[in-house]
Amino acid sequence: MKKAVKSQRPVNLDLRTIKLPVTAYTSILHRISGVILFIGLAIMLYALGKSLGSEEGFGEVKACLTSPLAKFVTWGLLSALLYHLVAGVRHLIMDMGIGETLEGGKLGSKIVIVISVVLIVLVGVWVW
């Protein structure tokens, strides 16, 4: 039996070996940070509701937030927020027509990563 059409699809589908451009990484991280923020919002609203419910609830939330795990979660949520904010500002700037070229997109992605890393380190120092 003969094939009617010769397939030109790539054979290598191992995602670990595919080299993505920096713009793809910033886009993927922007989406991931949005999902983390969505999930984290539920956690923080629960803690807010519990802390506002009673004096005992406030004490429990306050005691919980002093644990290393809670500090790590707080740092993670703030990191996601900062990255999402910086990447979102980049999208707004691109919507104004700045950095829409391939070179501009790559430069904008690198700037987003550098600014985000600096802000994430600073918020880590603040939380810990």
Q: Which residue positions form the known binding site for heme?
A: 84
Distance, CA of 14 to CA of 29 (rounded, Å):
20
Q: Which residue has the tokens 């949520």?
A: 77
Q: Which ranges of the chain would DSSP assign to H, the alpha helix?
A: 22-53, 55-64, 68-95, 102-127
Residue 76, number of CB atoms within 10 A of its CB = 15
In the annotated binding site, the residues are: 84
